[in-house]
Amino acid sequence: MLMPQQWMHDERAALAGLLGTYSVEVTSRDTKSLADVSRILPRGTEVFVANLPTESADVLIEAAARLRSAGLIPVPHIVARNVASKRDLEHMLAGLASKAGVERALVLGGDRDQPAGEFDAALQIIQSGLLEKNGIRRIAIACYPEGHPRIPGDVLRAALKAKIAAAASAGLDVLLVSQFAFDPAPIIDFVSELRRDGMEAPVRVGVAGPADRLKLVKYAIRCGVGASLRVLRERSELARNVLSGETPDDLLGQVALAQASDPSLGIAGVHFFTFGDPARSARWAEEQRSGAN
């Protein structure tokens, strides 16, 4: 049986290992955050770039180019329901490739009720042939350990399988990026289920970066992670820490220990949902990687 000090040492070591690969996200018009992550993050770190429905593709392309020039790897969001036409999609992808050297993208369906054009699902983007035509080599696909607030679980699972299969047919590598949660158990259980179901793509665990309590609760409810919130409220001390914007040591430490004890889980790093403050997540991750307290 491990003594508490040994367990804590093992957890810190596992956490540092898990954070050997991590990514953060910014929005394309957030010039301050773009500058911050360019200064803080190690070269070669992936930065996911969100683009609001009202913003043009050129804004996304410019943000990706800024990240590339700083030595970072831009991973733009390609949102099916925000794309007006196949022609517009090709324009966006061609610009991302030629001006920012983009080879990786997060492909999403999107939450808007009415699509802007002919695409309404991520699968259609993957099947369009335009990703690989314009130099995309790997796509990230969202997955949901605690389900989706608007999509039944069996539909989600079938869609995930279809997207992975379509990506394989297109010669695209796949990374699964999970929705954030506040409790490690649903994450570990979900990844185990994926493996039992024959889905072998690596999973990057989504986690809420430090943020104020009200902001976290708002996003958690919107994104359907209410089960985690209930668990946290029952564990009052942890709830105060996480929901006030403290660091996610406990959650990620337990996920890291699970991966260390069972490498077949295939948990490959961490993705920070940063809620407008990616620099704070980046600083914390770098402290853990270097062994700082």
Domain boundaries of the chain, sorted by first residue:
25-136, 139-293
- Average pLDDT (144-165) is 92
Query: CB under 8 Å to 169, separation ≥6 — which residues?
Result: none
Separation CA 48–CA 74 (nearest Å): 6
Separation CA 244–CA 211 (nearest Å): 7
Confidence bin at 137 (pLDDT 50/70/90): very high
Question: What are the φ and ψ backbone dihedral angles of 119, each rounded to 5 degrees?
Answer: -100, 135
pLDDT computed for residue 213 by the predictor: 58
Separation CA 20–CA 8 (nearest Å): 19
Please tell me the class of the 25-136 domain.
Answer: alpha beta
Tell whether the model's pLDDT for residue 224 goes beyond 90: no
pLDDT computed for residue 217 by the predictor: 59
Please tell me the class of the 139-293 domain.
Answer: alpha beta
Q: What is the mean pLDDT of the chain?
A: 87
Segment among 147-156, 204-213, 221-230, 251-260 with least mean pLDDT: 221-230
pLDDT computed for residue 51 by the predictor: 86
Query: CB under 8 Å to 196, separation ≥6 — which residues?
Result: none
- Average pLDDT (217-228) is 55
Is residue 276 within 8 A of residue 212, CB to CB? The reply is no
Separation CA 264–CA 194 (nearest Å): 11
pLDDT tens digit string along 188-208? 999 999 999 999 999 999 998
Tell whether the model's pLDDT for residue 3 goes beyond 60: no
The pTM is what?
0.89
pLDDT computed for residue 186 by the predictor: 92
